[in-house]
Amino acid sequence: KSIIQARNIEKIYSNGCHALKNVSLDINRGEVVVIIGPSGSGKSTFLRTLNQLESISDGSIHIDEVSLTDRKTNINKVREEVGMVFQSFNLFPHKTALGNVVLSPMKVKKKARTVAEQEGRELLKKVGLAERMNNYPSHLSGGQQQRVAIARALAMHPKIMLFDEPTSALDPEMVGEVLDVMKSLASDGMTMVVVTHEMGFAREVADRVVFMEDGELVFEESPERFFSSD
């Protein structure tokens, strides 16, 4: 069964903007789906509906067979299972890298500090920041901050990771280090939905490329077909 089932989603913002039009997409466990499309086509809105940062106006979404529109569903629980990384890293400036990573496991999952920190150190190692755990965000490069943000999301042991233009705010020389972390996550079998303009990443890592235009999902293809010249 697909871990993400989005069926006939409509999203109309309160200002009348019709941001998603009959969008349906099924994503399998372990699949990496890259969403591309022009600015304003609904990519970010779609991503945010998948963890209920944005409610939908019509249609249905199931995450690991749990309906997001069912009033009985505990949305906070679903959000724990769907990690998200934004363009702007949004780290707490007064907390170290490790402090940022342990925050939710301690507050939300009630983990003991020692346990959360042990896991946090492992995660920061995994994203290549073993030497930077005690640095504050202001003493980290953009690429390093984004890797902390990824570690922070992973600390909740999500089943799915959403990435909304994770490298768009970075200086070009830092894009690679963030994409490398995402590649290694993909090869670990993480289910990932990635909005990005990085076509190299799409070609190398995506199982499917989905194109959005004017609120509609226009087509989906394997990267082999999408990037072939004919």
Residues of this chain that bind ligand ADP (CB under 6 A): 13, 15, 17, 19, 37, 39-45
Q: Report the alpha-carbon distance of residue 23 to residue 216 in Å, rounded.
A: 6
Least gap, CB of 57 to ligand ADP (angstroms): 12
3-state secondary structure of 6: strand
Q: Which is nearer to ligand ADP, 40 or 176 (CB)?
A: 40
Least gap, CB of 135 to ligand ADP (angstroms): 27
* Nearest residue to ligand ADP, scored by beta-carbon proximity: 44
Q: Which is nearer to ligand ADP, 81 or 213 (CB)?
A: 213
Least gap, CB of 43 to ligand ADP (angstroms): 4
Nearest alpha-carbon partner for 217 in 75, 7, 4, 65: 7
Q: What share of the chain is helix, strand, coil (3-state, %, to 5)?
A: 35, 25, 40
Q: Which is nearer to ligand ADP, 188 or 214 (CB)?
A: 214
Nearest alpha-carbon partner for 194 in 161, 167, 163: 163
Q: Report the alpha-carbon distance of residue 92 to residue 97 in Å, rounded.
A: 9
Q: Which is nearer to ligand ADP, 139 or 197 (CB)?
A: 197
